[in-house]
Each structure stands twice: as C-alpha cells, then as structure tokens.
Amino acid sequence: MADYENMGTSEVERLAKHGDKDALYEMAWRMPADVQRNPVESCAWQDYWFEKAADAGNIDAKSRYARSLVDRIMNAEDRQKAMKYFESLLADYNAGKLVGENETDGILAQFWLGVLLCEGYHTPRDAVRGAKLLEAAHVKTNGFEKFGYKFHNTLGELYATGMAQPGEDPSVADLEKSIQYLEGAIKRFNPEKNDPNNRGYLQLTKDMYELQKKRIVNKMITQGDIIVDLSDTEKNERRRRMMEVSPLARERVAADKAAIARLRQRLSREGW
C-alpha cells in the first residue's frame, strides 16, 4: 500500500488523475496556501476531493464527506447525498469490509442513516427501518464517550416528536424512551469533551426532558396510550417548515456552490 502521506504532491496528483481512490482522498489534504487561508475555499476544496474519493470507493472519504453534510444546515441535495454515502457505508459494514478503525465509520453510518430515514426531509421516509438502525447503532456506540451526548439527545428528540415510528404520533412508550435517552444525554454531556459552545444545547435537552415528563403524566390520564398533540394539517405544516431552508442558509449554500465553481475552474486551468 502506497505511503501517500509521505509522497510528493506531484506524484499524488499523478495517481489521482488516474483515478486512484486513496490518492484522491490524499488530495483533500494538499491545499494550496491561498486556499488554506480562506475558510469557505478550504471547505470547498475538501468537499470536492472527498466526494471524488468517495465515488471512487475510499471508505474514509465516504464517512468524512457524509458526516460533513449532516453537520451543516442541510438542503435537499445535501440530505440526498448524505443518504447515498451512508447507505454505501452500511453495505460495506454489513459485508464485513469495515474493520479496525473503519468499523466506527459503519456504526456512525448506521446511526445517521437511521436519523435521515426517521425524519424523511427531502428523502424517503421509513421510520420502521430508521428506528431499528438507530437502536442497533445505539447499542454499539453506548461506550463511545465522544458520541454519547449527541446520540442520546438525537434519539430523545426523535422519540419525543414521534418521528421514530410511522404515524408521527408519539405513544406513551415513545415518550418513556425519549425521557430515557434525554436523561442519558444529560448525564453524558462533558464540557471538556463536548464543544463548550454547545452548553446552550444542554439546557435545551434539560428543558425537553422536563417537558416529556409533563406530557406523559397529562396524556396518560386523559388519552390513554396515544398522544395526539397535532392535527394532520399541523403536522404537514411542521414538516413543511422543517424542510424550508432559511435565507441565511440559502446564502451559505450559494456561497458554497460559488466556491466549488471557482475551484473547478482553477483545477481545469491546472490540467485536471
């Protein structure tokens, strides 16, 4: 296996031009100095090469690119791309192709694919499959301190909103699961390991936790096992709002696309 990290840039470029998946991945780290100085341009550079390498079959690129897509405010195109790469990673994982450090990539793909399937924003919705993937990934990631808060909080939100089951009306059992996961998220939040800027999110988690406890008491008394908080019209409106891209996000998407276009022009001039 070639030692790409210690290889000269000209040799990496030569291999990348011949479609070498690992050389294409290495190109993501070979930013020109002017690109490194510009955050938008550097993100565009990495996205460009990660996508190229992912399409060529590089597992690290699939994982990094898909997770970079879910870490941003996602538009329809980003969500569809992320689902594509998470599906590919999950297939690799199920086929036993992800071993060692790459096993984590498969588990993360399982989790985030579950989230996308439960939400169904601009992508097919399959809450039954999504919930199964989430629960399976949760068991495997329970000891991953790095992901503990995020994963528990996400599961808590999905069960609280009813998105972890087909009808989007959370049952008492769903709310009980939501409480369990939100409580786990609160316990696992570590300001030294989690981004300190996320402390505001921790308070939101606590607020959501208290809200679910109130909901479960009130609804069990008045409506038995079924929670009916929203009419079908209200649910459709909620889904429409969730799929909207804000003006600020649209500006960011436009800036990203412009940066990619400039990069393509630059690479074309350089013989790519």
Q: Pick the range with the lowest mean pLDDT from 3-7, 105-109, 181-185, 190-194.
A: 190-194
Give me the mean pLDDT over the 149-178 stretch.
87
- CB-CB neighbours of 233 under 10 Å: 8
Is the model's pLDDT at 195 over the cut of 70? no
Give me the mean pLDDT over the 126-151 stretch.
82
Give me the mean pLDDT over the 71-97 stretch.
88
Is the model's pLDDT at 180 over the cut of 90? yes
**Contact between 24 and 59 (Cβ < 8 Å):** no
Q: What is the CA radius of gyration of the chain?
A: 21
Is the model's pLDDT at 194 over the cut of 60? no
One-letter amino acid at 67 equals R
Full-model pTM: 0.82
Write down the residue that tokens 């071993």 correspond to.
Answer: 99
Structure confidence at residue 49 (pLDDT): 97
What DSSP line would sit under the chain, residue for residue? ---GGGS-HHHHHHHHHTT-HHHHHHHTT---HHHHT-HHHHHHHHHHHHHHHHHHT-HHHHHHHHHHHHTS---HHHHHHHHHHHHHHHHHHHTT---TTHHHHHHHHHHHHHHHHHH-SSS---HHHHHHHHHHHHHHHTT-HHHHHHHHHHHHHHHHHTTTSTTS--BHHHHHHHHHHHHHHHHH--TTTS-GGGHHHHHHHHHHHHHHHHHHHHHHHHHTTB---S-HHHHHHHHHHHH---HHHHHHHHHHHHHHHHHHHHHHHTT-
* Maximum separation of any 2 CA atoms in the chain, in Å: 71
Write down the residue that tokens 């949760």 correspond to.
Answer: 138
**Contact between 113 and 90 (Cβ < 8 Å):** yes
Structure confidence at residue 93 (pLDDT): 94
Give me the mean pLDDT over the 230-253 stretch.
69
What length does the chain have? 272
Structure confidence at residue 142 (pLDDT): 61
Is the model's pLDDT at 67 over the cut of 70? yes
